[in-house]
A and B are shown apart, each in its own frame.
Chain A
Amino acid sequence: MVELNTGIFTLAGAQQYLEREPELHVDQLSARIWTVCDGVRRTLFVEADSSVIAFDTLATPGAARAYRKAITAAIPGKPVQTIIYSHDHLDHAGFAADLAPDADIIADEMCAKVIGMRKAKGQLLPTQCLSGKRNRLMIDGVGLMLLNPGPTHGTGNLSAYFEHEKILFSSDTLLPNARYGLLPDYHIWNLVRFMRELQQLDWNTFVPGRYEVTDRARFEKGCDFFVAVKVASQQAFAEFVPIWVLGAMEEYVGGKLREQFGDLDGFDENIGLIAIRIVHHYLMGGWGLEDTWNPGVLLADSLTNPSGA
Chain B
Amino acid sequence: MVDTVIPGVGYTFFPDWHLAPYVPVMKRLLSLDWDLFVPGHFWITDRQGFIDNLAYYDRMADMAQQAIFDSLDPHNFTEVKKYTEANLRGEFGELFRFQEYCAMNLSRYMQHYLTGGWGIEGNWQPNTTPL
Contacts and interface: CB of A to CB of B under 8 A. Distances in A.
The finding on whether chains A and B are genuine partners in a shared complex, rather than unrelated, reads: yes
Interface of A: 7-11, 13-14, 16-17, 40, 59, 88-91, 94, 113-114, 117-118, 120, 123, 154-155, 179, 181-182, 184-185, 244-246, 269-270, 273, 276-277, 280, 284, 287-288, 290, 299, 303
Given A13-B66, A181-B74, A288 B119 contact: yes
Given A13-B69, A245-B100, A288 B12 contact: no
Contacts of A284: 15-16
12 contacts: A14-B69, A40-B73, A114-B120, A117-B120, A118-B123, A181-B74, A182-B108, A185-B111, A246-B104, A269-B76, A284-B15, A288-B121
Contacts, number: 106
A245 B117 CA distance: 26
Contacts of A185: 111, 115, 118-119
A290 B69 contact: no
Nearest to B18: A288
Main secondary structure on A side of the interface with B: loop
Contacts of B20: 8
Contacts of A184: 108, 111, 115, 118
B110 to A, nearest CB: 9
A154 B118 CA distance: 7
A277 B76 CA distance: 16
Contacts of B108: 182, 184
B107 interface: yes
A269 B121 CA distance: 30
